[in-house]
Copies of this chain bind each other. A is one copy, B any other.
Amino acid sequence: MALKIACAQPEIIAGRPDLNTQKILQIIKQAAQSGADILFLPELAVPGYLLGDLWEQTSFLEDCETYGRQIINATADLDLCVVFGNIALDRSKVNEDGRMRKYNAAFAAYKGKALGNGALPYNFIVKHSLPNYREFDDSRYFYSLAQLAAELGTTPAQLTKPVQIQLKGTNINLGIMLCEDGWTDNYHFNVPQALANSGADILCNLSCSPFTLNKNAKRHRLFAAQAKAAALPLVYCNNTGIQNNGKNIFTYDGCSCVYNADGTLMAEAPAYSEEILYTNFDAETKQIAGTPAPLPAMEKTENIYQAIRYGVQKFLQQLGITKMVVGLSGGIDSAVTAALYTDILGAQNVLLVNMPGRYNAELTKNMALQTAQALKTNYMVVPIAESAEYTRTQITATPVTSFANGTEFNLNVSPYVMENIQARDRGARVLAGLAAAFGGAFSCNSNKTEITVGYATFYGDICGLVAPIGDLWKHEVYELGHYLNDKVFKREVIPAEIFAMRPSAELSPEQTVGTGGDPLVYPYHDKLFALFVESWHKASPAGILRHYADGTLPQLLGCQPELIAETFKDTASFIADLERWWKLFCGLSVAKRIQAPPIISISRRAYGYDHREAQLTPYFSLEYQKLKNELLKK
């Protein structure tokens, strides 16, 4: 008996059960017309997932319930089983915070009814494994199957059974799990195994799983092995769209797919596309019919480009913003950002602004002009030397009265203070003013390397609506720049000189393209900072020094062996550099990130609520201090 399986990956809008339900009802119609027998929809397809504490608002929850019933009712006159994710409420119980009991649930609807699995006291399936890492706060909102089992005095295994349904005269056991239930590595109860053991004919995983670089490859390995171990096909259903937690904007690539009982990837939906994936399931042999049709793999920068483009585009659409202003310094970060917005919004909706101050070179001014010309955007030059000077004079010439003793005094503006005055003049004065006058918003062009150590000025350059390249290391910004030239625009919109010159903030006589650039040696610091924030067990100065001492640091960083020796003349300067950036990473840069714009998040750890931070004082561990002393004594 062949059953036609439909797997949809709609664009889900967080917090809009009305719009999501509308879309789901359309998909149900479409799947029914295509003769599908089972339709899978993603986890929390009705409410969306990243809602913040909107999960606490009863009236919102009740609407999700109502819309869920509409979806169940829509199956009344069809011969289609619809499996979808929604919030489920139990008003007779509370969560551990005392609020209404909420489950992250899967509903299997057929002939107008939601089917249970016979083991749970509900007509829905309850998520067992609640992730509480990175951006996930599941335990904050949902009661888990593990908690429910404990409450009922039973075990998760007793409650984990497939949902039985008769389709075309055949009994099918649907082994339904929700997202993290499939990521079995670190939970002592294995949901897919339990479903297979209790007679599932097919496994399905409803997910709401954001794009992360390299995550799909890991998922393919994991779920293929899972299908193979269970000797059952596995349908992976994930939504598209964007969702955010305030600080992080995540893209959802969907990439729904179907694995056969031997783990073969049989079919895959394209990333960020709302299409429905159809496959045929033979209920007798428990096999997916046909020949495998995986999609070609994408290379890293293509993946990054696709995610950032989709993320920025959808975010601007959500906010109703159609025009953007970008400060264009003549450097790589702003050029890449400008090219991205031009690609997304069209050149006529982008205003690029070069804001030369006292220390900007002709070279970078020309680069800015050339970039704008190549992109065919709107362009203006707004000098800031005069206004920065005005601020300096106003601060230093206006007398301060001390009412304690009736005296007057004047303030000084140091060269360092003047650097930040210029940066803020550009951001909060010019760009913010221009954005409002142009009828749009302005962009934050900061990259992850700068954000790591706060190499940016409050209300100067680390401000704006959104940071499109805020999760890219400097070398990835260059890679994306080449990709934009070669593959997107297919011409040199970012001039070759921009790739060639040494980056510089151009805020002081010492800090120019000609005389000296950023204090960061990007090939080294990019990798070092990635260890700080992206490594699984969070590297610390102690570990880095240990590797430095035994000569394995280049391996750990994945950089050229000679780079470290070339960059640091001796151990003392290596240590001084490490401490300088570590203190900034733990100190002032945290304060800057707290007030930074949201970041399009693509890495396995993006700044924001993905990587949570308190403002602490820098701490050097006992091992670090010991190692440092030993090394400096040598």
Contacts and interface: CB of A to CB of B under 8 A. Distances in A.
Interface of A: 13-18, 50-54, 56-60, 62-63, 66, 94-100, 129-133, 137, 139-140, 146-147, 150-151, 185-188, 243-247, 318-319, 347-348, 351, 372-373, 375-382, 387, 390-391, 394-396, 398-404, 411-414, 416-417, 420-421, 424-425, 427-430, 432-434, 436-438, 458-460, 463, 465, 536-540, 542-543, 590-591, 593-598, 609, 611-617, 619, 621-624
A615 B48 CA distance: 13
Contacts of A185: 98
Contacts of A133: 97, 140
A584 to B, nearest CB: 14
A132 B57 contact: no
Given A151-B188, A595-B597, 18 more contacts: A54-B614, A98-B185, A132-B137, A132-B139, A137-B137, A146-B150, A244-B614, A378-B401, A378-B403, A380-B398, A382-B395, A411-B437, A417-B433, A417-B437, A459-B459, A463-B595, A465-B591, A609-B609
B99 A14 contact: no
A434 B402 CA distance: 15
A401 to B, nearest CB: 5
Contacts of A411: 434, 437-438
B381 A398 contact: yes
Contacts of A132: 96-97, 132, 137, 139-140
Given A187-B96, A394-B387, A400-B380, A318 B617 contact: yes
A372 B401 CA distance: 10
B129 A96 contact: yes
Number of copies: 2
Which of A50, A438, A458 neighbours the largest number of chain B CB atoms within 10 Å of its CB?
Answer: A458
Contacts of A598: 594, 615
Contacts of A542: 59
B537 A16 contact: no
A378 B400 contact: yes
Contacts of A52: 611-614, 616
Contact of A424 (B150, B347, B372, B432): B432
A598 B376 CA distance: 41
A420 B402 contact: no
Given A58-B538, A59-B624, A98-B185, A401 B420 contact: no
Which of A94, A140, A614, A621 neighbours the largest number of chain B CB atoms within 10 Å of its CB?
Answer: A614
B433 A421 contact: yes
Contact of A380 (B391, B401, B425): B401
A624 B62 CA distance: 12
A147 B144 CA distance: 12
B404 A432 contact: no
A460 to B, nearest CB: 8
B417 A400 contact: no
B458 A432 contact: yes
Which of A401, A433, A460 neighbours the largest number of chain B CB atoms within 10 Å of its CB?
Answer: A433
A191 B390 CA distance: 65
Contact of A390 (B56, B390, B420): B390
B400 A376 contact: no
20 contacts: A16-B616, A51-B616, A52-B616, A57-B538, A63-B622, A146-B147, A246-B593, A318-B615, A348-B402, A348-B404, A377-B403, A377-B404, A378-B402, A379-B403, A380-B401, A414-B436, A424-B429, A428-B428, A428-B459, A432-B458
Contacts of A375: 403
A154 to B, nearest CB: 11
A244 B63 contact: no
A213 B590 CA distance: 28
A438 B400 CA distance: 10
Contacts of A434: 395, 411
B186 A98 contact: yes
A80 to B, nearest CB: 26
A594 B247 contact: yes
Given A53-B613, A146-B150, A15 B619 contact: yes
A387 B536 CA distance: 49
B617 A15 contact: yes
B594 A186 contact: no
Contacts of A186: 94-98
